[in-house]
């Protein structure tokens, strides 16, 4: 049970179905291009971590050519997401991972500022806490990790709202689990969020 697992949640990069809040300012094609760049950068960071087993959990399935290209290029395992909403999907992934691993962390693809030291710190804190959270400035979180599983952590959450982190912490407190909060980071969801990204990042994404 010494294995540590890092799971990346991702949607197939289909124009009009990803980064939808950026479409009014960027257009569907450029929003998708940015999403694909952020997804690949996330996989690169995850794959560079030592002694951590990485998986890419895909929706609606693992067969999109961008997913299969990432798997081939970075030797990352593709897994289909299971469940109806985000809570069910993360709960299923976390439970399955902790059946074989001592720690599991789930991240998305929307936080370019999340770096390798941040991820290592999250795993380190899981040696002391039951749950670790990376808060997002929009009231959600960019990372959640567990060393003990309880489906209630992901229950009754108003996903994609400013209440996600607060409601998750309420569940954790009700379960009397010990948690640790990492530094707060920004997601990239809206046009305003683009202003917080380095110019070089955007230039590379759209090149």
Partnered with residue 59 across adjacent β-strands are 11
The residue-averaged pLDDT of 65-83 equals 97
User: For residue 2, what pLDDT is reported?
Assistant: 60
| CA dist., res. 7 & res. 22, Å (int) | 25
User: For residue 196, what pLDDT is reported?
Assistant: 86
Q: Look at residue 169 and tell me whether its pLDDT is greater than 70.
A: yes
Q: pLDDT per residue over 88-131, tens digit each? A: 999 999 999 999 999 999 999 999 999 999 999 999 999 999 99
Cβ 159 vs Cβ 145: under 8 Å: no
In residues, how long is the chain?
207
CA distances, 1 to each of 69, 98, 145 (Å): 30, 9, 16
Question: What domains are there in the chain, each with its CATH number?
Answer: 4-191 (3.90.550.10)
Q: pLDDT per residue over 1-55, tens digit each? A: 569 999 999 999 999 999 999 999 999 999 999 999 999 999 999 999 999 999 9
13-27: string of b/e by CB count within 10 Å (b at 16+)? Answer: beeeebbeebbeebe
Cα of 48 vs its chain's centroid, Å: 16
For 15-26, the three-class secondary structure string (H helix, E strand, C coil) is: CCCCCHHHHHHH
The residue-averaged pLDDT of 51-79 equals 97
CA-based nearest residue to 73, from 46, 102, 43: 43
* Global pTM value: 0.96
CA-based nearest residue to 13, from 21, 26, 30: 30
107 phi, psi to nearest 5 deg = -130, 165
Residue 103 has, within 13 A of its CA and on its CB side, a CA count of 23
Pair of tokens at residue 197: 């990204």
């Amino acid at each position: 049970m010494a294995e540590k697992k890092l799971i990346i949640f991702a949607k197939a990069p289909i124009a009009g179905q990803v980064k939808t809040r950026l479409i009014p300012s960027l257009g569907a094609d450029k929003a998708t291009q940015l999403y694909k760049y952020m997804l690949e950068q996330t996989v690169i960071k995850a794959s560079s971590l030592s002694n951590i087993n990485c998986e890419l959990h895909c929706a609606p399935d693992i067969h999109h050519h961008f997913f299969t290209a990432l798997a081939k290029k970075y030797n990352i395992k593709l897994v289909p997401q299971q469940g109806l909403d985000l809570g069910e999907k993360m709960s299923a992934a976390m439970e399955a991972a902790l059946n074989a691993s001592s720690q599991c962390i789930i991240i998305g693809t929307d936080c370019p500022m999340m770096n390798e030291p941040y991820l290592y710190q999250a795993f380190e804190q899981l040696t002391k806490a039951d749950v670790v959270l990376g808060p997002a400035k929009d009231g959600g979180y960019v990372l959640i990790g567990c060393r003990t599983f309880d489906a209630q952590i992901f229950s009754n959450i108003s996903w994609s709202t400013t209440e996600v982190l607060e409601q998750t912490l309420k569940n954790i407190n009700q379960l009397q689990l010990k948690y640790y909060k990492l530094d707060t980071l920004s997601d990239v969801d809206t046009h305003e969020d683009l202003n917080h990204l380095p110019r070089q990042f955007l230039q590379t994404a759209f090149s």
